[in-house]
């Protein structure tokens, strides 16, 4: 069997096709032609292998394409070499190597200045096209990196988002007009998952907990007050003592939330018992139930401002300075926060953007 490799022809027996370095593609081709009459009569097959351009040029780098482009444009080895910062000898060797790979001369060396052959013109056009595509790719990639670096994804519990996110978004837009702030509200457990999985850059949670995967930054401690409907007997009090809550109908939080556990611990320490009539997983629903007269609750004071202004709720200070709601920012450890995320942390904490995913406060 005669197998042609470009202009070189090798003789390989059909039975040795698998053992003689013939590629899988060639073997498949041979399988398809073994049954043909010519093979049955002569026992030989002549195959002409034509190498693809991308196989021939695979080792060529962008810098080498740029070198040839400059030589062709200036019609001079020395000028092209100088523009690319290489020696004339290196430029000459590169052109000779490309000509050897392609099997054709690219320059007419009998002319001065150098002239391109038809193959040289085709290759010069190829170089320009590839380099143009490289430039377009680099620009598109930089734009993509810029967009990623200018966006911060925040996952927030409902109470922080609904009460303050509007103000934070306005201030962030003033400080960082080129950046985008994307906010999604969800339950605390989902916030930790989103941060851990990379779906969010930052998480805003109450009772923040650090772990091997999650870092927690303290933001602030929020005062807790008693939430009452305006018609409640304690609504006109200047201050409520823990003992005043004993036996009261109470609208609380779902049992899997940290704030529920903290309130239960507070009640045990104070030796009081409330009647839990309803419980929810977010502050907004608790406020609505209290406003409808279903019971009282203990909530962060800053989350009730809108309902107090509307006359739907009354918030009375609780004589319990040890009771407060800590709020913090969580992010994934060993993850470099982009500039937008660092700026958002700085806005919240009153510090300056850090360089290693933190703020200087």
For 56-146, CATH gives 1.10.10.10
pLDDT tens for the 361 residues of the chain, in order: 444 443 333 444 444 443 333 333 333 333 444 444 434 444 444 443 434 444 455 567 889 899 999 999 999 999 999 999 999 999 999 999 999 988 999 999 888 888 999 999 999 999 999 999 988 888 777 766 655 467 899 999 988 866 678 888 889 989 888 888 999 999 999 999 999 999 999 999 999 999 999 999 999 999 999 999 999 999 999 999 999 999 999 999 999 999 999 999 999 999 999 999 999 999 999 999 999 999 999 999 999 999 999 999 999 999 999 999 999 999 999 888 888 899 999 998 886 555 344 433 3
Domain 151-218+326-360 -> CATH class: alpha beta
Cα separation, 233 vs 224, in Å, equals 19
Domain 222-322 -> CATH class: alpha beta
Burial tier of 160 (Cβ tally within 10 Å: 0-12, 13-18, 19+): buried
| Domain 222-322 in the same topology as domain 151-218+326-360 | yes
Q: Where are the domains of the chain?
A: 2-50, 56-146, 151-218+326-360, 222-322
């Amino acid at each position: 069997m005669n197998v042609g490799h470009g202009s070189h022809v090798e003789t390989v027996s059909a039975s040795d096709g698998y053992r003689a370095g013939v590629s899988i593609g060639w073997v498949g081709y041979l399988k398809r032609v073994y049954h043909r009459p010519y093979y049955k009569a002569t026992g030989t097959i002549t195959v002409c292998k034509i190498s693809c351009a991308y196989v021939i040029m695979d080792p060529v780098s962008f810098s080498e394409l740029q070198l040839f482009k400059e030589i062709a444009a200036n019609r001079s080895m020395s000028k092209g070499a100088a523009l690319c910062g290489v020696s004339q000898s290196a430029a000459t060797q590169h052109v000779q190597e490309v000509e050897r790979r392609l099997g054709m001369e690219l320059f007419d060396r009998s002319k001065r200045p150098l002239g391109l052959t038809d193959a040289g013109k085709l290759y010069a056009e190829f170089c320009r096209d590839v380099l143009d595509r490289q430039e377009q790719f680099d620009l598109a990639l930089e734009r993509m990196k810029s967009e990623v670096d200018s966006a911060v994804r925040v996952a927030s519990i409902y109470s922080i988002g609904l009460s303050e996110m509007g103000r934070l978004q306005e201030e962030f837009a003033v400080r960082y007009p080129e950046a985008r702030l994307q906010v999604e509200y969800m339950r605390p457990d989902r916030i930790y998952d989103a941060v851990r999985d990379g779906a969010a850059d930052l998480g805003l949670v109450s009772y923040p907990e650090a772990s091997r995967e999650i870092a927690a930054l303290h933001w602030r401690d929020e005062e807790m007050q008693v939430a009452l409907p305006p018609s409640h007997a304690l609504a006109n009090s200047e201050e409520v003592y823990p003992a005043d809550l004993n036996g009261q109908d109470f609208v609380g939080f779902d049992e899997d939330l940290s704030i529920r556990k903290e309130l239960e611990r507070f009640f045990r320490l104070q030796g009081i018992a409330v009647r839990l009539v309803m419980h929810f997983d977010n502050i907004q629903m608790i406020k609505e139930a209290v406003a409808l007269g279903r019971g009282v609750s203990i909530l962060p004071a800053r989350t009730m401002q809108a309902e107090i202004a509307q006359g739907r709720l009354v918030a009375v200070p609780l004589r319990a300075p040890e009771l407060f709601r800590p709020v913090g920012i969580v992010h994934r450890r060993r993850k470099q926060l982009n500039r937008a995320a660092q700026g958002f942390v700085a806005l919240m904490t009153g510090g300056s953007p850090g360089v290693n995913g933190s703020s200087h406060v």
